């Protein structure tokens, strides 16, 4: 497992997310209200819609198409039509940069 530089911390507003594509995969990177950073798979598990246009509310990400919700810290599906958990990835912050451990 290697840590891959994804973005700078100030690339993501607090309580928001951005899309990050790497090595043929797409991810969603989150900046929580407490200043922590998280990473999940980019697409909603309900349908193939990218979460990057969704709304972050506290620790929830809401899919922009059908309003399914996930806890982006754990990936747990919190509101239908999302039923299956999002895959999550370890994140490390160092010197103002966000690294993701991509499998």
- Work out whether 53 is an interface residue with another protein (CB under 8 A): yes
Chain centroid offset of residue 3 CA? 16
- Work out whether 65 is an interface residue with another protein (CB under 8 A): yes
Contacts of 71 (CB under 8 A, 6+ apart): 59, 60, 78
- Work out whether 81 is an interface residue with another protein (CB under 8 A): yes
Q: How many CB atoms neighbour CB 94 within 10 A?
A: 10
Min dist CB 6 to another protein, Å, is: 18
- Work out whether 9 is an interface residue with another protein (CB under 8 A): no
Are 82 and 69 a contacting pair, CB within 8 Å?
yes
Of 65, 60, 67, 56, the residue nearest 14 (C-alpha) = 56
- Work out whether 57 is an interface residue with another protein (CB under 8 A): yes
- Work out whether 46 is an interface residue with another protein (CB under 8 A): yes
The footprint of another protein (CB under 8 A) covers 16, 46-48, 53-55, 57, 62, 64-67, 69, 79-81, 83
């Amino acid at each position: 497992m290697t840590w891959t530089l994804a973005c700078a911390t100030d690339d993501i507003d607090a309580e928001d997310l951005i899309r990050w594509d790497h090595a043929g995969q797409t991810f969603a990177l989150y900046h929580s209200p407490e200043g922590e950073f998280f990473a999940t798979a980019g697409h909603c598990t309900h349908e193939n819609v990218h979460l990057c246009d969704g709304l972050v509310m506290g620790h929830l990400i809401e899919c922009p198409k059908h309003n399914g919700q996930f806890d982006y810290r754990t990936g747990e599906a919190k509101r239908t039509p999302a039923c299956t958990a999002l895959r999550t990835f370890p994140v490390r912050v160092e010197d103002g940069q966000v690294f993701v451990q991509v499998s």
